[in-house]
Amino acid sequence: MRIDLRARRASRFATLAAIALAIATLDGPAEAAMEASPSVPAAGACDTPQHHQFDFWLGDWQVFDAETHKLVAFDRVEKHAEGCIVQQNLTLLTDLWRRPGAKYRLSGIGVNRFDGEAWLQLWADNQWGAIAMRGSLDENGAMVFKSIIPSRNRDLKVVFEKHADGTVRNLEYVAPAGSGKWEKYGDLIYRPNR
């Protein structure tokens, strides 16, 4: 079963662009933030090893709960903008993470980009809001993101592990803001949607 999410992408991307602008202006004007940043590759120059670190997550995926082995979502992860942006489009098929009282199941979009030093991930969904995270590869080759600003007084950590069989494991952790006391709340297995 394939879900075509193109119709929703434009409005979601506009939402994420607004979030990115808001984050860029947290410490001052956007121009100052750009001047203070390390050198950014010229347009079309997103073909460095760093820009390919997250390529293992690209694909059209079926997402399974690691504990129950039940199919819980579909996720399409694609590169855009000359390979500079990794975009995620997630649609849940179950009530996993459905906010109480919400009319619809969780659906969201993530935009990821290597900014010259680390990866930046901006996530927005139809129920819980928006999250900004920074990440990098750990010593085992897993991509690890941590929230930049607490979301609802919580810090988030998301880990993407590439497995030899072509699957990707997504571990999700939450901690009271600033505590560093991580508690796992999600464990998903991504399998190619064939």
How would residue 30 be classed by pLDDT, with cut points 50, 70 and 90? very low
**pLDDT attached to residue 86:** 97
Residue-level pLDDT at 5: 46
State both tokens at 107. Answer: 């659906």
Evaluate if residue 37 carries a pLDDT over 70: no
Return d(Cα 152, Cα 131) in angstroms, integer. Answer: 10
Cα 8 to chain centroid distance, Å, stands at: 17
Residue identified by tokens 């347009």 is: 43
Question: What are the Cα distances from residue 161, in Å, to 19, 21, 93, 104, 134?
Answer: 27, 30, 23, 29, 16
CATH number of 92's domain: 2.40.128.20
Q: Is the pLDDT at 87 greater than 70, yes or no?
A: yes
**Does residue 167 lie in a domain region?**
yes
How much is the pLDDT for 161? 98
Is residue 80's pLDDT more than 80?
A: yes
pTM listed for this prediction: 0.76
**Mean pLDDT across 72-85:** 95
Task: Quote the pLDDT of residue 31.
Answer: 47
Q: What is the mean pLDDT of residues 107-114?
A: 94
User: 21: part of which helix (H) or strand (E)?
Assistant: helix 6-24
User: What totals of helices (H) and strands (E) does the chain contain, helices first?
Assistant: 2, 10
Give mean pLDDT, residues 24-52.
Answer: 61
Neighbouring residues of 36: CB distance < 8 A, sequence distance ≥ 6: none
Percent of the chain with pLDDT over 70: 77
Q: Reply yes or no on whether the pLDDT at 7 is more than 60.
A: no
Query: Does residue 45 form part of some domain?
Result: no
DSSP 143-159: EEEEESS-BTTEEEEEE
The answer as to whether 40 is a domain residue is no
Q: 138 with 144: CB under 8 angstroms?
A: yes
Across the range 180-192, mean pLDDT stands at 96
Taking CA atoms, 166 is separated from 6, 23, 54, 59, 191, in Å, by 25, 34, 14, 11, 7
Q: Is residue 36 part of a domain?
A: no
Residue 17 lies in a domain: yes
Residue range 144-176, pLDDT digits in tens: 999 998 888 899 999 999 999 999 999 999 999
| Arithmetic mean of pLDDT over the chain | 83
Question: Does any domain span residue 184?
Answer: yes
Q: Is 139 part of any domain?
A: yes
Other CB atoms within 10 Å distance of the CB of residue 7: 7
Predicted pLDDT at 127: 82
Report the C-alpha dihedral over residues 162, 163, 166, 168, rounded to 10 degrees: -50
pLDDT: which is higher, 106 or 49: 49
Residue 34 covered by a domain: no
Residue type, 72: V
- Cα-trace Rg, the chain: 17
CB atoms within 10 A of CB 193: 15
Q: What CA–CA distance (Å, rounded) separates 128 from 101?
A: 12
Could you tell me the residue range of the domain that residue 10 belongs to? Answer: 6-26+57-192
* pLDDT for 104: 82
How many domains in the chain? 1
Is residue 71 scored above 70 in pLDDT?
yes
